[in-house]
Amino acid sequence: MRNIKLTIEYDGTRYLGWQRLGDSDKTIQGKIENIIKQMTGETIEITGSGRTDASAHARGQVANFKTESTLSLKEMQAFFHRYLPNDIVVKEISEVPERFHARYNATGKKYIYYIWNNEVPTAFSRHYSYHVPERLNLVKMEAAAEKMVGTHDFLGFSALKKSKKKSTVRTINEISFHQEGSMLAVTFVGEGFLYKMVRIMMGTLLEVGLGERSVDSIADIFDQKVRATAGETVPAQGLFLDEVFYKK
């Protein structure tokens, strides 16, 4: 049995997210699994490093699957390139040890959220950024982001319900800002993220930047652990899973 690792890039605009949904053919996982079945003749479930929401994108999603196929890696990649839709691309393919697991072995992830900060919308980047016409105070946003970095209970920054079984403590290593013209890119690097956590953190930072909440309110969200105390969940189209990290 071979274990195959894929690094995948996709435009999530027309999909319902990563995870397969019943008989729907509008998921990334479903599309890839259908191609693998055509390629190998096997019904295979691929394992992704994590889910991405409907309309969210990825530059470096990682997945693995196990197969009895004797096709070479080059032949597999050529098959993916030929039969996958143009908005899903297998960038890299490799054979890994049998125990490699795309989700359980991941040590961290990097997400980037894009904001088009201009009074005038953009026609070309509308599917890949969130339009915020008002001027943002980046100094205050950076100060608020500093308070999010570190190890905290992020329950208030997630769409999860409180559970005694699963920990909501996560470590954020970096939140950084880069602006080029009207496009603001906010990078989130952490050991792991809860459901909709990046989008809620981004919405909270935007409210700070718009003067709708104070920098000090970040501490209150951590203390209260209540979703309603954090900011709005920003739209998914501005979110990219940029990279998944593994031990070498």
Residues forming the active site? 53
Q: What's 156's DSSP letter?
A: G
Q: Is the dihedral of CA 213, 214, 215, 218 positive or negative?
A: negative
41-to-37, 80, 238 alpha-carbon distances in Å: 5, 14, 37
104, 101, 49, 95: which is closest to 76 by C-alpha? 95
Contact between 215 and 147 under an 8 Å Cβ cutoff? The reply is yes
- Sign of the torsion angle spanned by Cα atoms 103, 106, 107, 109: negative
Q: Are residues 230 and 158 in contact, defined by beta-carbon separation less than 8 angstroms?
A: no
**Amino acid letter, 179:** Q
- Distance, in Å, from the CA atom of 100 to the CA atom of 85, rounded to the nearest integer, reads 27
How far apart, in whole angstroms, are the C-alpha atoms of residue 93 and residue 36?
Answer: 13
Residues 89 and 243: their CA atoms lie apart, in Å, by: 15
